[in-house]
Chains A and B, each alone.
Chain A
Amino acid sequence: MTFKAKTLFKAGIASLLLSTAAIAQDDTIKVGVLHSLSGTMAISETTLKDVMLMLIDEQNKKGGINGKMLEAVVVDPASDWPLFAEKARELIEANGVDVVFGCWTSVSRKSVLPVFEELNSILFYPVQYEGEESQKNVFYTGAAPNQQAIPAVDYLMAEEGVERWVLAGTDYVYPRTTNKILEAYLIGKGVAPEDIMINYTPFGHSDWQTIVSDIKTFGSAGKKTAVVSTINGDANVPFYKELGNQGVSAEDIPVVAFSVGEEELAGLDTTPLVGHLAAWNYFMSVDTPENAEFIEKWQTFIGSEERVTNDPMEAHYIGFNMWVKAVEAAGTTDADAVIDALPGIEVPNLTGGTSIMLPNHHITKPVLVGEIQDDGQFDVVWETDGLVEGDAWSDFLPESAVLTSDWVELKCGNYNTETKTCGGASN
């Protein structure tokens, strides 16, 4: 009872603050953009900031939402994880934004979670991540592991007959959790533990000689071998260069990557990479009218025919349209009303389907496996039959298999189906 009263009180204060801020600021709806524009992550996140500006600009051309214009508030958390929390607080408290689109790395997301919970605001997170999380104030428009990693491994097992696996990743929370899930999944599928090699490298690792040579040795045990790569950021470029130089071709040992998209390939001579794979929920090469329109708008907005589109950009496109629809439906930008309105909202995605916001704050997405072509684009070689529902808690880890997330019926992000209790306040 007291708990409920407290939340209500908090929400009341928050909405009061928000509404006063909104009145003070000329009656526009403020949209926060929390992406690094400097530091290591700038390479990936700057594009997402630009996409948000484009989407907001476009919505304003259509007359805004409910008669109010949108106004973007851009801050630069400079790839500095604690600064993300500070900047999030600044956006919500000082600038009075109604929603924030932002973050890339999981560690930056973890850093802002308490802020969004405390100030009861909304965050749209556009990047594929490790799952094992569902928070009331966060909407995950990127892929959960069952929407990227698991189907990709299925493809390699079924189509390429892979029996031996190298799980290579950068040393932080996303690769470690994803690899834990994948290892459990593979062992469940009957892969022997000695047929799995796990390897971690630091951020920005550039000397891949030893690891590539280890992969070659591991691959010479008489079984078809593949590398599942959760290597993040620019460490990928020297990794693929070394693969090419040491003569590891995709026909011998294919590499399927979860963090390499069109944007990463733009800084790379792709000839030695042809045939290596990536699993995403969107590729720029997907041939649909929606996608063609999106690409044209993007290239006009950014003023260059050279610029590519990628998966997290599509996630922002979906997330932003979902938020617009929810605000229209709720008739207000009040956080609680919008959070309640979001589950069940349907918007078209760019691959020809319709994505739905699920009660666990994840969305439905198709899963595509593409091969790198020599023009830096991906050619889709396999896709799931329909859309896959994002699963917040992996079924392949014993500790999370019993958990489920439902913010509509159960009002809980980590409901334990065995003990029939909600596990805790958040996460």
Chain B
Amino acid sequence: MTQEKTEILKVEGVKAYYQMNYFGVKREVRAVDDITVTMRRNEVYGIAGESSSGKTSFIKVLAAAIRPPLRVIEGTVKYEFKNGPIDVAHASPAEIEAVRWKHLSYIMQGSMSVLNPVRRIGKTFQDFAQRPSGLKGEAFEERVINHLARLKLPPDVLKAYPHELSGGMRQRVTIGLATVCHPEFIIADEPTTALDVVVQKEVLSLIRDIQKEMGASVVFVTHDMSVHANVADRVGIIYAGRLVEEGPTRDMFFAPKHPYTAHLVASLPRIGDTQQRPALDGRPPNLADPPQGCRFHPRCPLAVDKCRKEVPPMEVVGPDHRTACWRWKDVEPLVNVSAPAGVMA
């Protein structure tokens, strides 16, 4: 890992809410509530959290992929691309169009449903990537075929319809679709969910390889901590629409500084481990009406009065390591963690 990593993305104080008006009743869901984070060139950043914690909404904001009723209320999402800076939270559709796919690409959740069922894969590649690639006819086709070969896909898949491919192949096709133009920044939403374990591993190493080869940055979301352990350089944990801790993967797993992270890490199964897993009581809070103070306090074993009243600020607790907990000094790993297999350090 080189130290000369320059920043490529700076997210500052971003708030994104779902604002709905359903049968006359107004509802506001604070899916992303004041997140500040920085991402660097040539790194893999993993975002973890439970379902409905707002993690998907957050990376939709990063990907400039939000649609009403989800709206960015506050904050900036600034990229430093090679062709200039852009704040995708406030850019015009035309400006976003200009960086889309060529600089910023997005792998949407669910490989089953993101490909047009009545269009051949080759056509889809043309639709998505021909214009941003700036290539024509055979040159473009050659690029696609070469790229597919790198993903271990035969050129035949271009003639296939999505339903004719297996789940793993489809996922590789969507990765290929997002990376064929060699973007600088790749956003992936649950790229491994719904795949079986063997294929998962394949897809993960693929993402990692492509990222290294192209020197791109990757942000990906998954609730599966073992995937983070395997792929991410840094991990950020989102709870109830807020970033609660972020740090280098190794530190996050060996020395978590937030009780929620400690819990997530502890829930990882390990071979030969018979220790009882401590279960976390309660459910993630309702984002339409989040709890006061630290949002984790109703479920937190360490909660004190202060946690119930005041929102903890992000504190730097180590190199690259930040956490939002009043009692981070008291957080201990819940289980005796030996290095999970394949942690990149």
Q: Decide whether A and B assemble into one complex.
A: no
